[in-house]
Structure 1
Amino acid sequence: MPIAPKHLKFDDGSVTIIGVDCATQSSKVGLALGSMSKGLLTIDKAMKVGKSGSIANVVSSWIRENSTTKTLIAMDSPLGWPIKLGEELIGHTAGSSLSTEAHQMFRRRTDFFIKEQANKQSLDVGADRIARTAHAALRLIDEIKEQVGMSIPLAWNSELRHPISVIEVYPAVTLKSCRLLSATSYKKESNGAREQIVDGLSEFMTLPEADKQSIIDDDDILDAVACVLAGSHFINNESVGPATTEDSALAEKEGWIWARMPR
């Protein structure tokens, strides 16, 4: 049943954080349920739903189960497209040249900002499979809205003015900011690098013993846990947002990656 906003009474000292490592196929989506209370971060569940499972069903059930707290959904996916891409294509005809340089056309202001500040290049939402991931993420948000009967707007500060809100995050930058990003890729089949990361994460959160091996074995689930950590940085006002009026205006259209920057 939908949650009725007028019946909600929130525990001001706690926040539910749901991490979603997005993908076009549900079997590749990592999910993590976390909570922040009195400054302490706990991961309650970390999982995948499998090929026949519904991501929206799981996330919606987590929201309902924690309806006395506000919920922040932290998604590893672009939630908007570059303004320049739309401007170029709206009047473009086949065979005509393009006046905008490729990076300016396929990357958002936040993508350039992340590269400048964290030396990590987020994927171009205007190109390749990440565009399909973004499409799937936006559809997922819509499905969750339908199931819980409430809007899910973007959050722009830690006040979390709405019962449920969503932000875009970047797990690799979050791990780097905590000095947990390994020199070798943690995406490879060998789980040695992931095991080191999980050991390090234990300094920042309480991890569920039942799911710890799954987090080590599966990089998608690990990324979902990192999404929850990124959400906690946002709530603690540690994430860097748009610094100028121009960047803020662009962020409302293109989206913004909320991340604590490596020091």
Structure 2
Amino acid sequence: MPVSDISPTATFHDLKEASVFITGGGSGIGAALTDGFLGQGAKVAFVGRSDANRFCDEMQEKHGQRPLFIQCDITDIPALKSAINSAATAHGPITTLVNNAANDLRHKASEVTEEFWDKAMAINLKAYFFACQAVEQGMRAAGGGSIINFSSISYMMGNAGYPVYTTANSGINGMTRSLAREFGDGAIRVNALAPGWVLTQKQKEMWATPEDLAAHLARQCLKEHLAPQDIVDGVLFLASKASRMMTGQALVIDGGVVGTG
């Protein structure tokens, strides 16, 4: 099945009118997440560095509801916290947070400077923590919520080519488990989601050579390439009460490349 032909598979009724906040929700997998939550009837706010008003126009035309876009660099923590507060004011306390924004710029260990390290960690780990911190009290007041932290299978595979990124990915799992324990008494669930190689437009343009695609597909148990919708369905499940007793876990959606347990 071509990846573009994959359609939504489930309706999660408890997500209707839910207040959802997504980092990097205007492009790539993030845009698919915004689309997916709007399709469930949720109220979606998202942040991104690039102007996303055209995308918001498309979403309003498609769903009859416009997402709230706040232009923001997530490494600016005060700005990120302000965006979260603005979203809660507009849509009510945030009950689903999706930490999706990341940067997997390729690099070698020998090339890493302190400046590069700090910048990569600010994007790929630090912003995640402070977004979680910023939504905790609102979720407690609302009676609970769900936090979904995007990781990646790259660190599980021991991939070379981006060691600072994989370090942050592994750190996301540790953070997720600790926050699940700390936030659990407020009925706040915290889970990680580790996608495999999802064929977004960026991946197709930058790294998806025919040879690399064939090699990766050979490692998968399921012989189809992953599409953004495969990840959206997993996030919707983690956001909904269908997963109400699932927390501190890492959900892997990769077609069967890595094994867990």
Instruction: Please give the TM-score of this superposition, normalised by the length of structure 2.
Output: 0.30
The higher-RCO structure (CA 8 Å, 6+ apart) is 1
Q: Which has the higher helix share?
A: 2
Scaled by the length of structure 1, the TM-score of the pair is 0.30
**Higher Rg:** 1
